[in-house]
Structure 1
Amino acid sequence: MARVSQEHLDARRRQILDGAALCFARNGFHATSMQDVLKEVDLSAGAVYRYFSGKDELIGAIVAEVMGEVRTAFEEAARQSPPPPPDELVASVLGRTLESRAYVTADGEPAFARLVVQVWTETVRNERLAAVLDEGYAAVRAAWTKVVEAYQESGMMRADVPADDVARTMISTVQGFIVQQSLFGPVPVEVLRNGLRALMSMGR
């Protein structure tokens, strides 16, 4: 029997994750069955269950992956001296995340924002998913705190405000932008960048 390459395994896992995310964004977690996912990815049950035990594991994997990508992007920025200013950094990271998750719903709208909002809602009843999200949020917050500390050390930002306060505020800004996209439709990430740039230009 021919040995399956790691590249093939990775590609199949990617196919399943992308298809599942599109199903969840289109119909919600509870209205989506594993049969819907199998139909979307055009694979047998055995092929899918080889990678994921069920719906909850699929959801957790999607959340962990997205949070990991965001955390990595901010950690990379923190290693720059100094990091890019907040308006450029937030727009770059969010834009990259949205582009890498360019799922499209049946009505032609990008599904990433809908998926994120559904994940937040699902954590109320799903303790395992809540734990995954908590861990991811803590990592992103820690990465953002490092970025803020780098701003303060370089003189780009006032140093008398706790770095964690700034980190939480910037994360809230991104979360709010995602909610707007979910509720009111796609908005270019440049809108967020421009708004942050204007706020940053204000005097005391």
Structure 2
Amino acid sequence: MARVSQEHLDARRRQILVGAAHCFARNGFHGTSMQDVLKEVGLSAGAVYRYFAGKEELIAAIADEAFSSIRRAFEEAAELIPPPTPDVLLGRVLRGVFEGQVYGMERRTCAALIVQVWAETMRNDRLAKTLDDGFIGMREAWATLVEAYRAAGLMHSDVPADDVARTLIATAQGFLAQEALFGGAEPHVLENGLRGLMSMGPQKIS
């Protein structure tokens, strides 16, 4: 019997995740059955259950993959000298999310899926743990970036790095929620808004 390559296994797992993500975005987690996922990906139950035991594992894998992708972007940015400023970096990350680099979805559909994941954590302890781990990882990645900003002379050292990290994460989360709820949350709007805030300084008194 021919041995199945790791590349083939990875591609099949990816196929299942992409199909499940589209089902969840379209119908919600509770409105999607495993049978819906099987139909979406065009695979047998045995082929899918080889990778995932059920919906909860699929949801957790989707959340974990999204966090890993975003965290890598932050970690790579921290290695640049000088690191990209928050407006540039957050714009780049949101473009990666909105342009469907993770699941090939339209911008608002992708944002809606992310918001659904957040909501699901309120009732799903396993997913809450995945989200919590991802949040901690993103805070650590941003804190590393803050230290890089300080080393490059771009940021003062009088504010705790974690405070800056949580504020910037909240900014990105807010834009994702705006896109999911209202649409029109273009990454360049976030970039311009942050750039405007970053330009503020002491007022000159005439």
**Considering the TM-score relative to the shorter chain, is it more than 0.5?**
yes
Identity of aligned residues (%): 63
Normalization by structure 1: what TM-score?
0.94
SS in 1 for 2:53: coil
Aligned length: 201
Corresponding residue for 1:193? Answer: 191
Distance 2:59 2:136 in 1: 19
* Aligned 8 A contact 2:18 2:103 in 1: no
Normalization by structure 2: what TM-score?
0.93
Structure 1 residue ranges, 4+ long, deviating more than 3 angstroms after superposition: none
Equivalent residue in structure 2 for 1:122, among 117, 120, 123: 120
Show CA shifts across 1:135-183 (max 9, x none).
0110011000110111122211111111111110000000000000100
Corresponding residue for 2:67? Answer: 67
Distance 2:72 2:138 in 1: 8
SS in 2 for 1:203: coil
* Aligned 8 A contact 1:141 1:164 in 2: yes
Distance 2:68 2:77 in 1: 14
Q: Are residues 55 and 102 of structure 1, via their aligned partners in 2, closer, same or farther at CA, if it must alter by over 3 Å?
A: closer
The yes-or-no answer on 1:50 pairing with 2:50 is yes
Corresponding residue for 1:136? Answer: 134
Distance 2:142 2:118 in 1: 20
Where does 1:1-204 land on structure 2 (aligned, <5 Å)? 1-99=1-99, 100-104=101-105, 110-204=108-202
Deviation at 1:102, TM superposition (A): 4.9
CA RMSD of aligned residues (A): 1.3
Distance 1:202 1:154 in 2: 19
Distance 2:107 2:198 in 1: 31
Deviation at 1:4, TM superposition (A): 1.2
Deviation at 1:196, TM superposition (A): 0.8
Distance 1:109 1:142 in 2: 27
Distance 2:177 2:131 in 1: 17
Deviation at 1:7, TM superposition (A): 1.2
Q: Are residues 102 and 11 of structure 1, via their aligned partners in 2, closer, same or farther at CA, if it must alter by over 3 Å?
A: closer
